[in-house]
């Protein structure tokens, strides 16, 4: 059995919430308080233990060390493994692992690729948490970037090439499950847990789509879009698979907010790469074209009473054909569109053009030009008004 | 002192207080474990068996100058501690912490006597629980140890039971 030799700060890196979640996962049950700073836990066939509920006690590190010994004996597991489980027990953990690595080292470029690919994979999932799109502009989703800033890179694990991503700490439940909030909504999981759940769903949907496509289905990746998959996600996965014959991506759930199945994993193979690459290309073709300029006459104007924004439709040239393009304009730009429409002028818009079903829509639009046409037949006296 | 002694007088006092505490624990059937003296404040851990194997963390002292406090009818001893020791003893911890002070006679030749009939280690130790005490601003705070709180086998067993209940 390995002896665990750590500094006090390492033991203090195990939070009381992590300790509590861990002991409950091994079927200990809280029995009574002890000295106002700890609790006695009991369990059938298990030794009674005392677990601190605060780090404010002087001997916290000493107690954690002793508890690791106890857990190690009960679980018949190396104390080093127990320690690593404990230190991450209050976080959902995402691991990207190369199972078949048969050397003691990895070329540095491949190692760097694993870390950056793992980051890109998580970022792509974060972008699609609240808004499903076939492709995202990297770095433009502030909420996703804010989330990524709170993710930490865990220590490498002995004996494998695994990148460990540590999303933010998942808080334990503050109310019994199913309790209603004061405004009638059912208590939701916190963002940290929802994000991990979304990542796991996207991963699973991607794996299923790859398998179904390989067996002849051409709709599988379109269906995966609803689960949060995107060209960005597929690109990251292709980059991760890279030169490796096999790659495993797993999610382990925080013990502070346990779920029925503690760990889920998806394995991708070299054969998946071309399929994912093709899916990415297809999504990018469907995805928005950024910073597009369109010119056309305003055909339709709709603004509900009380709204500041209004929806317009312009007839503009898209891919060489005149198409109807809708856009939702701010109050000021909508007023400009009204004037343009009444004056028979041509409106110039800039934004991100994307296809939504059979229709074109301009996202993030802004008016950039108004071109007044005089009565000449060829429009040669058209001039820009602003 | 013998010419080849490695321990100074204070070191021998300390070692004898350790031997005293270990003897009492052994007589009670408890195990003991050392801790680094100047790292945590614990000189000796004592552990019992039974329900969740309770422990006590002892800070051991020895002195030839333990005098009864005249102001309290001689029923308490006054004892001065280093500020760091006082702080360690009163701060919150999961394992109960106790001060154990061995009262020793002034003549060193009286500290321990051995014959074919007996081993005598003089004189006896007293215990004090400072858990929850107010912090002190003194550089050498003085504590008062009741003469009734003799650290012997029965007392150690009583203290261990209190530790088990979490009421120490």
Q: Is residue B161 part of a domain?
A: yes
Minimal Cβ distance to B52: which of A35, A40, A58 = A40
Question: With an 8 Å Cβ cutoff, is A168 touching chain B?
Answer: no
For B125, the token pair is: 């130790």
Q: Is residue B67 part of a domain?
A: yes
| CB contact (8 A) between residue B91 and residue A60 | no
Q: Which of B33, B92, B135, B164 to mutate to test the interface with A (most CBs of A within 10 A)?
A: B92
Mean pLDDT by 10 residues, chain A (386 residues): 71 93 92 93 93 94 93 91 89 88 76 93 94 83 91 77 83 65 59 90 93 85 85 95 91 87 90 93 81 91 92 91 93 94 92 84 92 58 41
Question: With an 8 Å Cβ cutoff, is A40 touching chain B?
Answer: yes
Q: What is the CATH number of the domain that holds B48?
A: 3.40.1350.10
Nearest CA in chain A to B56: A59
Domain tally, chain B: 1
C-alpha to C-alpha distance for B41 and A58, rounded to whole angstroms: 10
Task: Using the predicted structure, report yes or no on whether residue B37 has a pLDDT greater than 60.
Answer: no
| CB contact (8 A) between residue B93 and residue A59 | yes
C-alpha to C-alpha distance for A26 and A260, rounded to whole angstroms: 14
The answer to whether the CB of B24 falls within 8 A of the CB of B151 is: yes
More confidently predicted of B120 and B65:
B120
| CB contact (8 A) between residue B94 and residue A57 | yes
- Domain A289-384 = CATH 1.20.120: no
More confidently predicted of B49 and A373:
B49
Q: Which domain holds residue B147?
A: 9-165
The mean-pLDDT minimum among A151-165, B17-31, B121-135 falls in A151-165
DSSP codes, A218-273: SSHHHHHHTTT--HHHHHHHHHHHTT-SEEEEEEE--TTS--SSSEEEEEEETTHH
For A319, the token pair is: 């891919």
Question: With an 8 Å Cβ cutoff, is B164 touching chain A?
Answer: no
| CB contact (8 A) between residue B93 and residue A40 | no
Cβ atoms < 10 Å from Cβ of A69: 14
| CB contact (8 A) between residue A49 and residue B166 | no
Question: With an 8 Å Cβ cutoff, is B57 touching chain A?
Answer: yes
User: Closest by alpha carbon to A350, among A288, A285, A281?
Assistant: A288
| CB contact (8 A) between residue B91 and residue A62 | no
- Please report which residue ranges of B67-152 form alpha helices under DSSP H: 83-90
Question: With an 8 Å Cβ cutoff, is A49 touching chain B?
Answer: yes
How high is the mean pLDDT of chain B? 90
Q: How far is B5 from chain A (nearest CA, A)?
A: 34
Q: What b/e sequence results for A134-172 when a residue is b if at least 16 CB atoms lie within 10 Å of its CB, and e otherwise?
A: bbbeeeebeebeebbeebeebeeeeeebbbbbbbbbbeb
DSSP codes, A49-109: EEEES-S-STTHHHHHHHHHHHHHHHHT--HHHHHHHHHTTTS-EEEEEETT--SS---HH
Q: How far is B164 from chain A (nearest CA, A)?
A: 9
Minimal Cβ distance to B94: which of A47, A48, A59 = A59
Nearest CA in chain B to A33: B166
Q: Is residue B4 part of a domain?
A: no
Minimal Cβ distance to B94: which of A32, A38, A48 = A38
Q: What is the pTM of this model?
A: 0.72
């Amino acid at each position: 059995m390995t002896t665990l030799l750590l500094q006090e700060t390492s033991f203090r890196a195990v939070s009381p919430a992590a300790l509590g979640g861990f002991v409950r996962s091994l079927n200990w049950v809280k029995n009574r308080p002890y000295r106002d700073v700890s609790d006695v836990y009991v369990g059938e066939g298990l030794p009674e233990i005392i677990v601190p509920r605060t780090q404010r006690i002087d001997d916290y590190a000493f107690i954690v060390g002793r508890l690791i010994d106890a857990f190690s004996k009960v679980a018949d597991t190396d104390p080093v493994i127990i320690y690593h489980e404990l230190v991450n027990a209050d976080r959902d953990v995402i691991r990207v692992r190369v199972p078949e690595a048969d050397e003691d080292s990895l070329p540095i470029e491949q190692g760097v690729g694993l870390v950056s690919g793992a980051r890109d994979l998580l970022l792509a999932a974060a972008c699609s948490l609240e808004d499903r799109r076939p492709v995202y502009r990297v770095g433009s989703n502030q909420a996703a970037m804010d989330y990524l800033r709170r993710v930490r890179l865990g220590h490498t694990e002995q004996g494998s090439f695994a990148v460990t991503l540590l999303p933010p700490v998942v808080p334990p439940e503050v109310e019994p499950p199913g309790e209603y909030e004061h405004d009638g909504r059912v208590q939701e999981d916190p963002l940290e847990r929802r994000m991990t759940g979304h990542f796991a769903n996207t991963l699973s949907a991607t794996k299923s789509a790859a398998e179904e496509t390989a067996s002849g289905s051409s709709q599988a990746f379109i269906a995966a879009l609803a689960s949060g998959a995107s060209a960005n996600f597929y690109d990251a996965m292709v980059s991760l698979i890279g030169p490796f014959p096999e790659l495993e991506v797993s999610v382990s759930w925080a013990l502070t907010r346990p779920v029925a199945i503690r760990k889920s994993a998806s394995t991708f193979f070299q054969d998946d790469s071309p399929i994912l690459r093709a899916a990415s290309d297809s999504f990018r073709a469907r995805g928005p074209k950024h910073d597009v300029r369109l010119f056309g006459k305003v055909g339709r104007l709709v603004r509900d009473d009380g709204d500041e924004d209004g929806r317009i439709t312009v007839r503009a040239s898209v891919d060489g054909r005149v198409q109807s393009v809708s856009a939702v304009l701010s109050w000021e730009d909508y007023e400009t569109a009204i004037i343009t429409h009444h004056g028979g002028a041509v409106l110039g818009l800039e934004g991100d053009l994307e296809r939504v079903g059979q229709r074109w829509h301009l996202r993030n639009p802004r008016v950039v030009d108004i071109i007044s046409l005089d009565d000449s037949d060829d429009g040669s006296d058209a001039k820009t008004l602003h | 002192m013998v010419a080849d002694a490695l321990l100074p007088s204070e070191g021998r006092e300390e070692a004898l207080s350790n031997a005293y505490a270990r003897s009492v624990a052994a007589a009670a059937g408890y195990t003991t474990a050392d801790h680094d003296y100047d790292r945590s404040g614990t000189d000796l851990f004592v552990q019992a068996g039974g329900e969740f194997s309770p422990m006590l963390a002892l800070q051991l002292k020895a002195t030839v100058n333990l005098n009864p406090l005249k102001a309290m009818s001689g029923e308490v001893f006054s004892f001065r501690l280093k500020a760091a020791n006082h702080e360690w003893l009163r701060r919150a911890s999961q394992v109960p912490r106790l001060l154990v002070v061995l009262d020793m006679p002034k003549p060193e030749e009286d500290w321990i006597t051995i014959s074919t009939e007996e081993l005598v280690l003089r004189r006896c130790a007293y215990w004090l629980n400072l858990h929850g005490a107010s912090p002190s601003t003194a550089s050498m705070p003085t504590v008062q140890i009741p003469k009734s709180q003799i650290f012997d086998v029965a007392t150690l067993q009583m203290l261990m039971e209190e530790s088990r209940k979490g009421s120490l």
